[in-house]
Amino acid sequence: MGVQGLLPFVSSASTEVSLEDYRGQTLACDASVWLHRGAISCARELAEGEPAVGFLRFPLRMIALLKRHGVRPLIVFDGGAMPMKARVDAARAADRESAKARGEFNKTVKITAAMTQQLIERLRQDGVEFVVAPFEADSQLAFLVQHGHAAAALTEDSDLLAYRCPSVLFKLSESGHARRITFAGLQHAQDSKGQLLFDGAWEGEWAAWEGGLFVAMCIMAGCDYLPSVPGVGVATAHKALRAGRTVERALAKLHSKRSGPPAPVAAEAYLLRALGL
DNA sequence: CGCTAGGGATACTC
DNA sequence: ACTCGTCCCTAGCG
């Protein structure tokens, strides 16, 4: 899920925070992760089509955790499926089928609209606010924070950074602590040698990353919408973009060093289009 | 030596 | 008929 390896790559820009820091404020919460983890507790029942409500326990406990710290939860649900992700969705469905055949029910877990409806009913009863995103929750979460409807997004999905969400909370623990990464804070992210990743190599470098290079790095490293370039991860994409300073030159650099199967040129066309270039 | 990608173990109850 | 896993470790690549 998300961009593989992105969070470790920028982990130096993360800080430990407590839910207490958000007392009296709103957090936009990604419901899908909570539902997925909750569904593990009744994976077999769900796989066999038996009635089950155990999957509600985990998300409700997380909401209670937020309330205990005086935080106002705004739960965000996924909406419609993205046509561009049809290929990935089909592959995941096939994986679930084979897992079911092997009896590995934990890997067959899929959150259905009916399950989402059950949680929504509980939220209505409990007076917990929620919204259903038009498509994926990711971009809706980023929107809510960007427009001041929430102080931060609470999720496990690194895509929130690709969507330039101003403030994201990852890895919330039962103790109420989490790792926070702000988009502006990425300016100070550094590698293992203490060198800045997105600033200082040339005049106005951070503005370039902020303006589009960071999103390009995420896409080049592999996303759910496009076939990825084999052998290119976050680090390689970062190096190419920093050396080339533009998406076009970075892609050219990757080409010159590549060997093996031909590069998916269609992916590059989509990339440039997605970036408005 | 850094990096990518894949395999294995693992998730959930309060 | 219905919606996304992730961490750790390492082989094997450049």
Question: Looking at residue A110, which CATH number applies to its domain?
Answer: 3.40.50.1010
Task: Clarify whether residues A176 and A242 are in a common domain.
Answer: no
Q: According to the model, what pLDDT value does residue A269 have?
A: 67
pTM, full prediction: 0.94
SS3 letters for A113-180?
HHHHHHHHHHHHHHCCEEEECCCCHHHHHHHHHHCCCCCEEECCCCHHHHCCCCEEEECCCCCCEEEE
The three-state secondary structure class of A37 is helix
* Contact between residue A173 and residue A158 where contact means Cβ atoms under 8 Å apart: no
Task: Clarify whether residues A88 and A114 are in a common domain.
Answer: yes
Whether residue A1 lies inside any domain: the answer is no
Task: Clarify whether residues A35 and A157 are in a common domain.
Answer: yes
Which pair of structure tokens corresponds to residue A199? Answer: 């600033």
Domain boundary among A187, A210, A235: A187
Task: Clarify whether residues A206 and A72 are in a common domain.
Answer: no
How far apart (Å, rounded) are the C-alpha atoms in residues A60 and A67?
A: 11
- For nucleic chain B, which protein residues have CB less than 7 Å from any of its atoms? A 4-5, 37-38, 40-41, 57-58, 61, 104, 106-107, 174, 192, 221-222, 228, 230-237
Domain boundary among A167, A187, A207: A187
Task: Clarify whether residues A131 and A64 are in a common domain.
Answer: yes
Q: CB of residue A59 closer than 7 A to nucleic acid strand C? A: no
Task: Clarify whether residues A136 and A79 are in a common domain.
Answer: yes
Q: Which nucleotide C1' is nearest A257 CA?
A: C14
Task: Clarify whether residues A181 and A211 are in a common domain.
Answer: no
Q: Output the domain CATH number for residue A206.
A: 1.10.150
Task: Clarify whether residues A36 and A120 are in a common domain.
Answer: yes
Domain hosting A257: range is: 190-274
Task: Clarify whether residues A100 and A208 are in a common domain.
Answer: no
Q: CB of residue A92 closer than 7 A to nucleic acid strand C? A: yes
Whether residue A70 lies inside any domain: the answer is yes
Q: CB of residue A137 closer than 7 A to nucleic acid strand C? A: yes
Whether residue A196 lies inside any domain: the answer is yes
- Supply the DSSP string of A197-219, one letter for each residue: SSSSSSTTHHHHIIIIIHHHHHH
Q: Which nucleotide C1' is nearest A36 CA?
A: C5
Whether residue A228 lies inside any domain: the answer is yes
* Contact between residue A183 and residue A163 where contact means Cβ atoms under 8 Å apart: no
Domain boundary among A187, A213, A235: A187
* Contact between residue A88 and residue A35 where contact means Cβ atoms under 8 Å apart: no
Report how many domains make up chain A: 2
How far apart (Å, rounded) are the C-alpha atoms in residues A150 and A129?
A: 12
Q: According to the model, what pLDDT value does residue A73 have?
A: 98
How far apart (Å, rounded) are the C-alpha atoms in residues A205 and A191?
A: 16
Whether residue A172 lies inside any domain: the answer is yes
Between CA A269 and C1' C10 the distance (Å) reads 35
Whether residue A194 lies inside any domain: the answer is yes
Q: According to the model, what pLDDT value does residue A141 have?
A: 98
Between CA A67 and C1' B2 the distance (Å) reads 44
Task: Clarify whether residues A30 and A105 are in a common domain.
Answer: yes
Q: Amino acid identity of A122?
A: R
Would residue A205 be called left, alpha or beta, if left means φ above 0 and alpha means ψ between -120 and 50 degrees?
alpha
Task: Clarify whether residues A194 and A178 are in a common domain.
Answer: no
Q: CB of residue A111 closer than 7 A to nucleic acid strand C? A: yes
Q: Pick from A139, A152, A153: which is nearest to A85 by CA?
A: A139
Between CA A23 and C1' B13 the distance (Å) reads 28
Q: Which residue has the tokens 């939860």?
A: A73
Which mean pLDDT values do the consecutive 10-residue runs of chain A (277 residues) have? Answer: 93 97 98 96 94 96 97 96 82 86 88 95 97 95 98 97 97 96 98 96 97 93 78 94 93 72 60 64
Q: CB of residue A35 closer than 7 A to nucleic acid strand C? A: yes
Task: Clarify whether residues A123 and A11 are in a common domain.
Answer: yes
Residue A133: partners with Cβ closer than 8 Å, 6 or more residues away: A76, A77, A78, A79, A139, A140
Q: According to the model, what pLDDT value does residue A258 have?
A: 62
Q: CB of residue A61 closer than 7 A to nucleic acid strand C? A: no
